[in-house]
Structure 1
Amino acid sequence: MIRVLVDADACPVKAEALRVAERHGAEIHYVANGGLRPVDHPLARMVYVPEGPDEADKWIADRAGPADVVVTADIPLAAKCVAAGAQVLNHTGEPFTPANIGQKLATRDLMADLRAADPFRQGGGKGFSKADRSRFLDALDRALRTARRGG
């Protein structure tokens, strides 16, 4: 059975992910440190990991494989899941792939260095839009079809 593994602590598309997973008959695991309300759906599983840095990421990385689609904005987690053969998306529907994950990691590291060098630098990102939500729905649907075919 294909699965959707959601890094759920700060994910703005939890409900959308469930809708698409349901359409595909895929089990969905919401992984978090806590604070999420349980989802009453036969395909949904709530996974509460211990408090601590990266515990949800570790749980997902240890289980992700070719029959899975992972939803995360965490680039190091995405890299581990891509290496394990999973389809990986961020919450705007942008895929992480073997072809782009190296550049994503390098950019993340560069930005961390720039922020550390200039503590007054304001890093305001753009807001989450309806177009982002729509792109995510389409991308998750495609990723689940790809996972069903075996990658």
Structure 2
Amino acid sequence: MKIWVDADACPVVIKEILFRVAERTKRHLILIANHPIYIPPSQFIRMYQVESGFDVVDNEIVRRMDEGDLVITSDIPLAAEVIKKQGCVLSPRGELYTKENIGARLSMRDFMESLRASGVDTGGLSTLSQNDRKLFAGQLDKLVLI
């Protein structure tokens, strides 16, 4: 299992957890972004920069990943594509997206997007909490130690 990261929007604290896990488990961690991202020197960690544009990072992750790989993203449409390709998806908040729950997540995303398009202020995500970090680290450990 390789670990792919939708790195443009991934919080630094989550990347740091991923760096430690890659070293500890000797799993390949690949960050994809359309701007340079710091990575520590490691034989297990790589960063690929792609050109800017709508869904360029997402498309690159889906193109490169294999069945059974893990993708870290909060992007629901990307998560759906990864699941179609039989990959695993974990959000930076520790939510595991599955074929059982991704349809509902897509529907809610589309609903919220239509509210915003009609001028309704839906607010944004809250700041990543300590509990979110713990949940992410716990879920990540379960997935990489399988």
Give me the TM-score of the superposition, normalised by structure 2: 0.92
Q: CA RMSD in A?
A: 1.3
Q: Distance in 2 between matches of 1:106 and 1:75?
A: 10
Equivalent residues, number: 144
Question: Is the Cα–Cα contact under 8 Å of residues 112 and 122 in structure 2 kept in the other structure?
Answer: no
Q: Which has the higher contact order (CA 8 A, sep 6+)?
A: 1
1:37 aligns with 2:38: yes
Gaps of 5+ in 1: 147-151
Distance in 2 between residues matched to 1:126 and 1:38, nearest whole Å: 26
Taking a change above 3 Å as real, the CA distance of residues 124 and 51 of structure 1, as seen in their structure-2 partners, is: closer
What residue in structure 2 maps to residue 83 of structure 1?
Answer: 84
Match of 1:52 in 2: 53
- Rounded Cα–Cα distance in structure 2 between residues aligned with 1:31 and 1:39: 15
The answer for the alignment partner of 2:68 in structure 1 is 67
Report if the CA contact (8 A) 1:21-1:28 is conserved.
yes
Q: Within 5 Å, which residues of 2 pair with 1:98-113?
A: 98-113=99-114
What CA distance in whole angstroms lies between the structure 2 residues aligned with 1:25 and 1:97? 25
Distance 2:24 2:85 in 1: 25
Query: Is the contact between residue 65 and residue 81 of structure 1 (CA under 8 Å) also seen in structure 2?
Result: no
The yes-or-no answer on 1:18 pairing with 2:19 is yes
The Cα shift of 1:122 comes to 4.6
- 8 Å CA contact retained: 1:92, 1:135: yes
Deviation at 1:67, TM superposition (A): 3.0
Unaligned runs of 5+ in 2: none
Instruction: Give the secondary-structure state (helix, strand or coil) at the position aligned to 2:29.
Output: strand
Q: CA deviation at 1:91?
A: 0.0
Aligned partner letter, 1:3: K
State whether residues 4 and 72 of structure 2, in contact with CA within 8 Å, keep that contact through their aligned partners in structure 1.
yes
Q: 2: CA distance between counterparts of 1:39 and 1:3?
A: 17
Distance in structure 2 (CA, Å) of the matches to 1:48 and 1:94: 26
Identity of aligned residues (%): 38
Task: Please name the residue that 1:9 is paired with.
Answer: 8
